[in-house]
């Protein structure tokens, strides 16, 4: 299986590579459009700021490449947010692949960023096969994707938001499966097992 990890200026590629290696998968970190298009699975991770990440994707023509992908794609954290239409983080136009908007946490009583372990529930995807409702996963984010019909798991932190989404061949999680122990490992395995 050829697994590609999108290389851009907002990745947390090393921890994703390590998590895949624990599953016996050797992945390639690349910004080569042809390699991404020919991979069996593509992972689009991210830690960072939306507008600078989008600028990098556009400058390197990775925005059109990602939009063109037809195999299963998994966005992680910022990668999930960039798949959406728009982000309130510096009023950024995102890739527009998955319907939905990225909002700033508005509850001033909460510590932002939302950092640490929180539960996920309301599963509606084979991405969560073998995962128990209210399992804990690891989050680090200051913005969230609003809940919509594309949400296939939710989390509550002052408000209920999309912990995971699915639109056609694009899957995405707001949390970090590569840092979420056995639960995250199961979710990554489920993604790698997807047949589309």
Active site (catalytic) residues: 77, 176, 178
156 Cβ contact partners less than 8 Å away, ≥ 6 residues apart = 118
Helix, strand, coil % in the chain, rounded to nearest 5: 30, 30, 40
Report the sign of the C-alpha dihedral through residues 186, 38, 25, 177, in that order.
Answer: negative
User: Is 160 within 8 Å of 75 (Cβ atoms)?
Assistant: no
Q: Is 178 exposed, middle or buried (0-12, 13-18, 19+ CB in 10 A)?
A: buried
């Amino acid at each position: 299986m050829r697994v590609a990890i999108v290389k851009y200026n907002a990745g947390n590629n090393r921890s994703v590579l390590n998590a895949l290696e624990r599953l016996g998968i050797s992945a390639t970190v690349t910004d080569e459009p042809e390699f991404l298009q020919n991979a069996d699975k593509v992972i689009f991770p991210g830690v960072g700021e939306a507008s600078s990440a989008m600028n990098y994707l556009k400058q390197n023509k990775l925005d059109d490449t990602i939009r063109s992908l037809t195999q299963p794609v998994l966005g992680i954290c910022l990668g999930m947010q960039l798949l959406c239409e728009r982000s309130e983080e510096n009023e950024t136009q995102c890739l527009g692949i998955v319907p939905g908007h990225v909002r700033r946490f508005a509850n001033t009583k909460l510590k932002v960023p939302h950092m640490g372990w929180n539960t996920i529930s309301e599963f509606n995807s084979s991405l969560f096969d073998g995962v128990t409702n209210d399992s804990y996963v690891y989050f680090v984010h200051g913005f969230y994707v609003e809940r919509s019909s594309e949400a296939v798991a939710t989390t509550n932190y002052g408000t209920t938001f999309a912990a995971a989404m699915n639109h056609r061949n694009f899957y995405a999680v707001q949390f970090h499966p590569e840092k979420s122990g056995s639960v995250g490992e199961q979710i990554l395995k489920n993604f790698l097992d997807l047949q589309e």
